[in-house]
């Protein structure tokens, strides 16, 4: 029943697919390009949803819901937007048995349909800011499926806001980026680099895109969340105007932002190992799994007595699961829960009962160094301490991994080598020519121009010309 | 700014649309048949989602997510199913710029795609029961839009379960129906009649459908939730088999069930009046609205001091909103919040401050009888008592309304008159002929055969033949 997983060192891509399926996070569906998110994977997404929902509401954002279908003519209104999305559209041409006069697009993002409504609702400065978001499904045509990371349909939230001033919109962009950064670093234990996208990498229809970029286990980058400053692109196209305090007509300034179910895939790739998942305790659907150990009925009733006590005491504070499946061996169960990435395993056998103790085994450390014996009367504080420690340790491991695989090349030759081994950090003059030359020659892209810069000018790693800022270059999913 | 609402007595249908739009629950979208759910309406749906989610999980159900698209060939596999849904399908025929080999159906319900996966996952009796559900959007082609009640796209959850025995599946059907009943009666203050659908009214592909039926303000019925006993229809078509404890291959028994965003519309129709919405306190996004009253700055600072104290004390326990919009009169605000159905209004003026009191006005009672003066030091318990009382009163009003408009005709002539005035309860012999004759002649349908029966046989109200059970007959949305 526990499935074989291709070792990570042999084939990272096969390893990833094996883990996602064997741990029952997701599965392929009969519809090419679409996946099924299974309950264990959905629980990870649900945790992120709830985390974000609380923070969005605390910052006065409101959930709403806009239609799945967008008239073809709407999506064509903003020139860059349609250029970016045209190759990815799914089109409904028949409905209720008849051919449609105007085809409907299944939303690839909702700027056009939402801004058509904003034009109707927004009248006065009193209506601003409008801070709406929705949780929904999105379709972008895509046949090279990679579970969670690249699928035709995925889940996300998308925020769409309208502000009276450019400054108000820009504050929003950064407020959201910081919420995303915290989600990734503090909850998913995944270090990210916040920064700005180059023009060629920004969202189709935005003035500027802000991003957080993470390093995956194969040393490629993954864009983990984006927050777009839309300027007045859509406001102009959809004519979203308001009367300001001086009774003058003004156009709104806008943002949009999203994170998607690909974050579940990121969790797998950042923390997983040859045994399977390793989940950070904060996001883990099961934080502690209890495996009772016995050989006969007398032992069983002894052990289960203690297990029930543990369930009662710990279950109120942490997400606990007791694996009392009768016909499986403890060894099988250990492997099974390691595969599923449960941070802490709690073993109780007859000997432990007689000594009023249990054994705790950490998922984040190598076997033989990962066990401790804990007296029952110290269990809760010890478990809480270990969970905190695992959370911290997974973050530190991921950060160290990124640092060890980040290069600061001094020549273009070194650079071209570096981007195939990890992240390369170097000056970029800002020209699209350098960017596309580099992309063509190395297959890397500019992941972002980090917000953190040392302020000193330098020389472009590609052309040698003057450069003000450093960029992060890498291969990316 | 407060919009005129057509009086209910003049035109119930126009009244409904006016209220939904003026209270900002929803709006028409540029896509014919699709609506936009605005934040105030979405908050009502979100409350129902959270309520149900807790109860589904407490009964061991797990959320998951299945694809939006269903291959055309899948949806055609179950004969009754495709017959029922064929006229309502939206079809994607183009993707990524190319014509698709096999068109994809936008899910009108997910039995076929989910059961294709169950056939892959279910192997042994140990895997059963499988109790999954998903929150998602659904598309059924529909051009006669009625906000919330009838839209091309709507939101729902759909549960899909598989069991080892017919009894297990039947228990599930009734467990879920009871959760739905409680949601409607205890939270939405909307009395419902639980019962079984006639064969002609059951879900396309089910053995039997169980339903809860509510009476709306226009005396028509609304199907508020359904729970289907699918038998082995889909198991046979998708070959969902398991090895039982004796190592014999068996087919699973299944259920599916759903409630949709139409419940938001039901809330409006059951409780609303000529002033607008009346929301039951449990589900109301704002339970108490505070309207401060002042004439000058000195009064303002006095009053706002008390308001802040109230916000601090009440805000921890109830959903409270302070309407401190500076340039609107108290009278305007009163109307505005009445329109939005806030159960309790709290007024504070300078006189109240000097007497350490506030005025509370209930939304569920006629003006002039709905006010009470409450000392500040008794505020929290008094507010809680009033909210409980309003919740109870709205339920009782709706129940009384249903009882006053429910008839027990003794002749077919009386019956034909009754179903156009409200609910008619009478014996039905169970024959499809009687059902379709009645439907044709009266436009009513059999809403359900109630679970509560007195056990005595009688004579069919349509043909006069022998009948074992009574049914509820009515016009329906």
Residue A95 has pLDDT above 90, yes or no: yes
CB–CB contact A87 B104 (8 Å): no
Return the residue of A nearest to B42 by Cα.
Answer: A64
A132: nearest Cα among A228, A66, A77, A78: A66
Of B65, B71, B113, the CB nearest to A37: B65
For A364-373, how does the pLDDT look when each residue is reduced to its tens digit (9 = 90+)? 998 888 999 9
B222 near B266, Cβ under 8 Å? yes
* Residue B327 DSSP code: T
Q: Give the separation between CA B194 and CA B176, rounded to whole angstroms.
A: 11
Return the residue of B nearest to A152 by Cα.
Answer: B67
Q: What are phi and psi of A461, to 5 degrees?
A: -65, -15
Tokens of A413: 């030759």
**pLDDT at residue B1, as a whole number:** 44
Q: Give the separation between CA A343 and CA A384, rounded to whole angstroms.
A: 11
Q: Give the separation between CA A234 and CA B29, rounded to whole angstroms.
A: 17
Residue A98 has pLDDT above 70, yes or no: yes
CB–CB contact A29 B155 (8 Å): no
Residues of chain B neighbouring A70 (CB-CB closer than 8 A): 31
Q: What are phi and psi of B181, to 5 degrees?
A: -60, -45
Residue A41 has pLDDT above 80, yes or no: yes
Higher-pLDDT residue of A85 and B170 is: B170
Tokens of A311: 């369930």
Q: Give the separation between CA B240 and CA B274, rounded to whole angstroms.
A: 53
For B373-404, how does the pLDDT look when each residue is reduced to its tens digit (9 = 90+)? 999 999 999 999 999 999 999 999 999 999 99
Model confidence band, residue A154 (pLDDT cutoffs 50, 70, 90): very high
Mean pLDDT of A449-459: 95
Give the number of other CB atoms < 10 A from CB of residue B181.
18
Mean pLDDT of A315-322: 96
Tokens of B257: 């069930």
For B274-296, how does the pLDDT look when each residue is reduced to its tens digit (9 = 90+)? 999 999 999 999 999 999 999 99
Cα distances (angstroms) measured from residue A39 to each of A46, A93, B305: 10, 33, 49
3-state secondary structure of A6: coil
Q: Complex ipTM, two decimals?
A: 0.96
- Pick among B30, B47, B54, B159 to test the A interface (most A CBs inside 10 A): B30
Residues of chain A neighbouring B67 (CB-CB closer than 8 A): 29, 31, 34-36, 153
How far is CA A242 from its chain centroid?
Answer: 36
Beta bridge partners of A375: A357
For A231-257, how does the pLDDT look when each residue is reduced to its tens digit (9 = 90+)? 999 999 999 999 999 999 999 999 999
> Chain-wide mean pLDDT for chain B?
96
Within B190-294, residue ranges assigned H as helices are 233-238, 262-271
For A50-71, how does the pLDDT look when each residue is reduced to its tens digit (9 = 90+)? 999 999 999 999 999 999 999 9
* Residue whose token pair is 């505005």: B336
Q: Give the separation between CA B104 and CA B73, rounded to whole angstroms.
A: 9
**pLDDT at residue B3, as a whole number:** 61
Residues of chain B neighbouring A29 (CB-CB closer than 8 A): 66-67, 113, 116-117
CB–CB contact A65 B37 (8 Å): yes
- Pick among B64, B130, B156 to test the A interface (most A CBs inside 10 A): B64
Residue B353 has pLDDT above 60, yes or no: yes
Rg (CA), chain B: 25
Residues of chain A neighbouring B148 (CB-CB closer than 8 A): none
How many CB pairs below 8 Å do chains A and B form together? 166
**pLDDT at residue B219, as a whole number:** 97
**pLDDT at residue A1, as a whole number:** 44
- Stated as kind and residue range, the H or E segment containing A233 is helix A233-238
A448: nearest Cα among A425, A417, A418, A431: A425
CB–CB contact A91 B87 (8 Å): no
CB–CB contact A36 B142 (8 Å): no
Tokens of A460: 């472009």
A160 near A129, Cβ under 8 Å? no
Beta bridge partners of A474: A445
For A371-425, how does the pLDDT look when each residue is reduced to its tens digit (9 = 90+)? 999 999 999 999 999 999 999 999 999 999 999 999 999 999 999 999 999 999 9
Residue A217 has pLDDT above 60, yes or no: yes
For B169-183, how does the pLDDT look when each residue is reduced to its tens digit (9 = 90+)? 999 999 999 999 999
Residues of chain B neighbouring A153 (CB-CB closer than 8 A): 67-69
Q: Give the separation between CA A299 and CA A294, rounded to whole angstroms.
A: 5
Q: Give the separation between CA B264 and CA B271, rounded to whole angstroms.
A: 11
**pLDDT at residue A80, as a whole number:** 85
CB–CB contact A132 B39 (8 Å): yes
Residue A78 has pLDDT above 90, yes or no: no
How far is CA B187 from its chain centroid?
Answer: 11
For A269-302, how does the pLDDT look when each residue is reduced to its tens digit (9 = 90+)? 999 999 999 999 999 999 999 999 999 999 999 9
For B424-447, how does the pLDDT look when each residue is reduced to its tens digit (9 = 90+)? 999 999 999 999 999 999 999 999
Residue A126 has pLDDT above 60, yes or no: yes
Residue A438 has pLDDT above 70, yes or no: yes
Mean pLDDT of A173-201: 98
Of B43, B66, B137, the CB nearest to A68: B137
**pLDDT at residue B304, as a whole number:** 96
* Residue A185 DSSP code: I
Mean pLDDT of B236-246: 97
CB–CB contact A95 B141 (8 Å): yes
Q: Give the separation between CA A100 and CA B143, rounded to whole angstroms.
A: 12
Cα distances (angstroms) measured from residue B205 to each of A134, B75, B231, B252: 33, 11, 9, 15
Cα distances (angstroms) measured from residue B407 to each of B216, B266, B414, B425, B461: 16, 22, 9, 6, 13
Residues 6+ apart with CB under 8 A from B106: A68, A92, A106, B68, B69, B70, B89, B90, B91, B92, B139
* Residue B218 DSSP code: T
Cα distances (angstroms) measured from residue B399 to each of A237, A323, B280: 51, 47, 14
- Pick among B68, B118, B159 to test the A interface (most A CBs inside 10 A): B68
Rg (CA), chain A: 25
**pLDDT at residue A3, as a whole number:** 62
**pLDDT at residue B460, as a whole number:** 97
Q: What percent of chain A has pLDDT over 90?
A: 93
Q: Give the separation between CA B395 and CA B246, rounded to whole angstroms.
A: 51
Cα distances (angstroms) measured from residue B300 to each of A12, B296, B327: 66, 6, 13
Give the number of other CB atoms < 10 A from CB of residue B28.
18
Handedness of CA A104, A105, A110, A111 (dihedral sign): negative
Question: CA A377, A383, A386: angle at the middle one, nearest 5?
Answer: 135
Mean pLDDT of B190-215: 96
For B35-51, how does the pLDDT look when each residue is reduced to its tens digit (9 = 90+)? 999 999 999 999 999 99
Q: Give the separation between CA A356 and CA A373, rounded to whole angstroms.
A: 10
**pLDDT at residue A367, as a whole number:** 81
Model confidence band, residue B92 (pLDDT cutoffs 50, 70, 90): very high
């Amino acid at each position: 029943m526990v499935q074989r997983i291709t070792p990570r060192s042999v084939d990272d891509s096969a390893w990833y697919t094996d883990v996602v399926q064997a741990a029952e996070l997701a599965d392929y569906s009969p519809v090419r390009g679409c996946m099924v998110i299974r309950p264990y994977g959905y629980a990870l997404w649900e945790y992120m949803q709830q985390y974000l929902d609380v923070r969005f509401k605390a910052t006065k954002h409101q959930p709403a819901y806009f239609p799945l279908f967008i008239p073809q003519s709407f999506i064509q209104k903003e020139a860059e937007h349609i250029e970016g999305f045209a190759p990815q559209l799914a089109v409904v041409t028949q409905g209720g048995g008849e051919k449609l006069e105007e085809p409907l697009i299944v939303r690839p993002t909702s700027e056009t349909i939402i801004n058509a409504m904003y034009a109707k609702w927004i009248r006065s400065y009193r209506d601003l800011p409008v801070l709406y978001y929705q949780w929904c499904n999105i379709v972008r045509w895509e046949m090279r499926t990679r579970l969670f990371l690249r699928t035709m349909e995925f889940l996300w939230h998308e925020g769409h806001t309208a502000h009276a001033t450019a400054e108000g919109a820009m504050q929003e962009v950064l407020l959201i980026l910081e919420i995303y950064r915290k989600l990734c670093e503090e909850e998913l234990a995944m270090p990210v680099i916040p920064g700005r996208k180059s023009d060629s990498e920004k969202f189709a229809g935005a003035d500027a895109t802000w991003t957080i970029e993470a390093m995956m286990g194969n040393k490629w980058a993954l864009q983990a969340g984006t927050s777009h400053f839309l300027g007045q692109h859509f406001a102009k196209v959809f004519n979203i105007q308001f009367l300001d305090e001086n009774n003058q007509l003004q156009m709104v300034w806008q943002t949009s932002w999203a994170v998607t179910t690909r974050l579940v895939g990121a969790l797998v790739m950042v923390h997983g190992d040859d045994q399977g998942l390793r989940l950070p305790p904060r996001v883990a659907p099961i934080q502690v799994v209890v495996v009772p150990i016995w050989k006969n009925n007398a032992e069983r009733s002894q052990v289960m007595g203690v297990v029930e006590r543990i369930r009662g005491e710990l279950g109120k504070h942490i997400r606990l699961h007791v694996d009392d499946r009768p016909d499986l061996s403890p060894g099988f169960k250990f492997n099974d829960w390691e595969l599923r990435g449960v941070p802490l395993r709690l073993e109780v056998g007859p000997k432990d009962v007689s000594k009023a103790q249990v054994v705790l085994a950490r998922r984040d450390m190598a076997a033989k160094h990962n066990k401790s014996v804990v007296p029952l009367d110290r269990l809760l504080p010890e478990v809480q301490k270990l969970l905190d420690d695992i959370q911290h340790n997974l973050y530190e491991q991921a950060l160290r991994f990124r640092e060890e695989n980040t290069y600061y090349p001094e020549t273009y030759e070194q650079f071209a080598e570096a981007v195939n081994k990890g992240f390369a950090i170097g000056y970029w003059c800002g020209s699209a020519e350098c960017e596309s030359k580099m992309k063509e020659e190395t297959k890397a892209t500019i992941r972002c121009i980090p917000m953190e810069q040392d302020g000193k000018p330098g020389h472009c790693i590609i052309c040698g010309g003057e450069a003000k800022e450093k960029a992060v270059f890498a291969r990316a999913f």
